[in-house]
A and B are shown apart, each in its own frame.
Chain A
Amino acid sequence: MAPVQVRTQEFPRASSRALANGRVQQALTNVMGHFDHAREAAIQELTPEVWERYRERGREIKRHAMEYLDFYLELLSERVEANGGKVHFARTAQEATQIVLEIAKALGVKVAVKGKSMLSEEMGLNHALEEQGIAPVETDLGEYIIQLAQEPPFHILAPAMHKTKEEVGELFAAKLGLGGLQQIPDMAAAARKTLRERFLQADMGITGVNFAVAETGTVVIVTNEGNGRMCTSLPRVHVALMGMEKVVPALEDLSVMLRLLPRAATGQRITSYVTLVSGPRQPGDEDGPEEFHLVIVDAGRTRLLADPELREALYCIRCGACLNTCPVYRKVGGHAYGWVYPGPIGSVITPVMVGLPRARDLPFASSLCGACREVCPLKINIPLMLVSLRRRLMEGAPGERGVSWGQRLLVRLWSRVVASEGSLRRARRLAAVFQRPFLRRRVVRWIPFPPFSRWTRNRDMPGLARRSFHELWDRDLKTTGRSKRP
């Protein structure tokens, strides 16, 4: 089974490539604004005060659920089984994949329709199913498009947002033999028709889980297209994949979560469909799957749970708001991040999931502007967690450390310089000499030494002032009670 490709090491190059890629830039410019405006409008409609109240409550629900995660997972699994479902536990993504494969094989599944599930991306599930001769069919339109294009998702919410309608048209022509589609509604209609057949054909429906209610043993699936309802209603068996952090204690917690997620994600009051599944069809039900399997997956999440500085990352409800607002994501898009979860929250989760040294560039891919924290419906303090990861990379145990020799040396040097006013003064004198050959009218346009060379690549750099503030103070400012110029 091919593990999911991890390309997190390539972020520096991949991000530069994305910046130079006109098509990606165009798509980002066209699309990114929509999300932000929609979210903002939805919050205004609700009023920011009420929004703030829901955020606090949502945070409290998640904080509590994580603190008692063992209790609620046990309760959840008991209740799902009481409802006639089967619960599986997987410590790793590979284990989760094995579970799904075994269920599929036992039932002789040929076609599996899938709802959007980022966890299944972690698992590399489609690939594994194909290897076993089972056809996975993504049914979320965006996922369907990127499945046809054989690409990873670009965004956790809008996986194909980087594709223009022309590209989608070409894709449909090449892969489905549906030529001549030019308008977006026609493409959606074509997908409806093609996928409808697959829905009716499929033996297995695989979905993600947005929330799982422990008390009632219920999983909740939030969609706009209705594919979630299809996957959970038509095939003989429904397999729901959930990261273990999705659990909430009680049914009534859903009202808060369902107010937060759609607004933060797409600016909707609620999505077109919210589906609550509490097990397989019951005797007397008209339709629905005969079997319901819930796969509860760890895959690195207990590492977040055990980490007091990073536990908050498990509050994430994958709304995508932090991606949409992040100046870095808005410039490089999702593929540059090199794994399943892009954007600010991805830069926190990914290093923990794939290993910090391998993803050492991600925690630094942020200006720490704090916009993510500001928009996050769960108020997750992403910048603080990024700084915490940076610290591990620089000061952590040998296994966590990223090698960055140059940075270490620089910070030592700098530390010496700023250790006292005297050393600063001496360093300043030295620097004044050093900068002279590069100064043109008090400005440095080019300097060959890093890190300064990395600045002057696209910005001018001011030279040292003729006198430092310390000198000004001693000369003019200290004694006079008044400034000289009126």
Chain B
Amino acid sequence: MAGTTREEFLKTVRQSLGRKEGAPEPEYLALRLRREDQRQKVVTIEARVEARRRDLLTRLERVAGQSGWRVYRAASPEAAAGYVLKLAREKAADLVVRSEHDVFRRVPIDGLLRQEGIAVTPILAARAGDREHLRQEMDKAQIGVTGVDYAVAETGTCVLLPRRGVSRAVSLLPPVHVALVEPHQVYETLDDLFAVRRLAFIQGRGDAGSYLSLTSGPSRTADIEQTLVIGVHGPVEAHLVLLPPAPEAASPRPGTPSP
């Protein structure tokens, strides 16, 4: 295999730093926080976020709008489903793909769309089997609908953690992406998000998940004459649907600290 061994490479780096031995583990705050401290940190974040929930939702709505999301604040899960249906009609969609987020238990888009003769394919490989086929479905679909795993008010960002049932491509290949956001998923800042993810990493014994996707608006470019064009490779339209809180206790999010 071409290349240099790690040892050789690190030796050169070490020499450049004027060190003979490997570095002692650096004192670095963000790394030193061990599991319990990190958990405490996240508990504090949760409390702050909870206390500011209402403001955060408003901020998310505002910032996301500025970033190019089309934001819809749904009064009910049914209204959210209706929004998706309306969109599907507008786009004359005949195929909608969606992820397997929990939120679809509240927002029953499948039945609603199918009643109108619009096909809905939940992207769950185990059910459909053939990945190539699924990918073609996603490429053909006019709309991809997903839940989110987190949202960040500071940047108007929806965060997806691809896994079983959550394809990377559902929010990417179709020209329209609809993200359904539940209030308890909204954090205030990027710091919050990464603190929560770091806890998940520690609690998962070093499993960071294979992928984390932060989306803040539609695909865009300004590569020709610095003129903004929306929709190059990713979605041309990005819709953020903000749901009302669930009546019962919210379903736990991936990063929620275990007590």
Q: Which of B189-214 contact A (CB under 8 A)?
A: 189-191, 193-195, 197-198, 201, 206-214
Q: Which of B20-35 contact A (CB under 8 A)?
A: 22-23, 25-26, 28, 30-31
- B16 contacts which of A64, A141, A168, A306 (Cβ < 8 Å)? A306
Contact indicator B198/A226 (Cβ below 8 Å): no
Contact indicator B232/A191 (Cβ below 8 Å): yes
* In the complex, chain B residues whose CB is within 8 Å of the CB of A102: 1-2
Contact indicator B208/A218 (Cβ below 8 Å): yes
Contact indicator B224/A83 (Cβ below 8 Å): no
Give bound CA distance, A173 to B5, whole Å.
47
* In the complex, chain A residues whose CB is within 8 Å of the CB of B142: none
Residue of B nearest to A259 (CB): B190
The answer to the question of A273 belonging to the interface, with a C-beta cut-off of 8 Å to chain B, is yes
Q: Which of B50-58, B71-79, B110-118, B156-164 binds A?
A: B156-164
A225 and B13 in contact (CB under 8 A), knowing A255-B190, A280-B210?
A: no
Interface size on A, residues (CB 8 A): 102
Contact indicator A229/B6 (Cβ below 8 Å): no
Q: Which of B84-92, B167-175, B239-247 binds A?
A: B167-175
Contact indicator A275/B214 (Cβ below 8 Å): yes
Closest-CB distance, A457 to chain B (whole angstroms): 33
A272 and B216 in contact (CB under 8 A), knowing A254-B194, A280-B210?
A: yes
Contact indicator B17/A288 (Cβ below 8 Å): no
* In the complex, chain B residues whose CB is within 8 Å of the CB of A15: none
The answer to the question of A464 belonging to the interface, with a C-beta cut-off of 8 Å to chain B, is no
* B interface: dominant SS: loop
The answer to the question of A423 belonging to the interface, with a C-beta cut-off of 8 Å to chain B, is no
- A188 contacts which of B13, B68, B229 (Cβ < 8 Å)? B229
A272 and B218 in contact (CB under 8 A), knowing A95-B4, A285-B164, A286-B167?
A: yes
Residue of A nearest to B198 (CB): A251
Closest-CB distance, B219 to chain A (whole angstroms): 4
Give bound CA distance, A99 to B3, whole Å.
6
The answer to the question of B130 belonging to the interface, with a C-beta cut-off of 8 Å to chain A, is no
Q: Mark A295-338, 1 if CB is under 8 A from B, else 0.
A: 11010001101100000000000000000000000000000000
Contact indicator A77/B23 (Cβ below 8 Å): no
Q: Mark A14-31, 1 if CB is under 8 A from B, else 0.
A: 000000000000000011
Contact indicator A284/B10 (Cβ below 8 Å): no
Residue of A nearest to B156 (CB): A269
Q: Which of B101-109, B131-139, B178-186 binds A?
A: B131-139
The answer to the question of A395 belonging to the interface, with a C-beta cut-off of 8 Å to chain B, is no
Contact indicator A252/B191 (Cβ below 8 Å): yes
Q: Mark A82-108, 1 if CB is under 8 A from B, else 0.
A: 110001111100011011011000000
Give bound CA distance, A312 to B171, whole Å.
39
Residue of B135, B214, B216, B221 most packed against chain A (CB within 10 A): B221
16 contacts between A and B (CB under 8 A): A70-B10, A74-B10, A77-B6, A83-B207, A88-B2, A89-B3, A141-B232, A188-B229, A218-B208, A224-B222, A225-B221, A251-B197, A259-B190, A272-B234, A285-B211, A303-B16
- Interface of A toward B, CB cutoff 8 Å: 30-31, 34-35, 64, 67-71, 73-74, 77, 79, 82-83, 87-91, 95-96, 98-99, 101-102, 139-142, 145, 158-161, 163-165, 168, 184-185, 187-189, 191-192, 195-196, 199-200, 215-218, 224-227, 229-230, 232-234, 244, 249-255, 258-259, 266, 268-282, 284-288, 295-296, 298, 302-303, 305-306
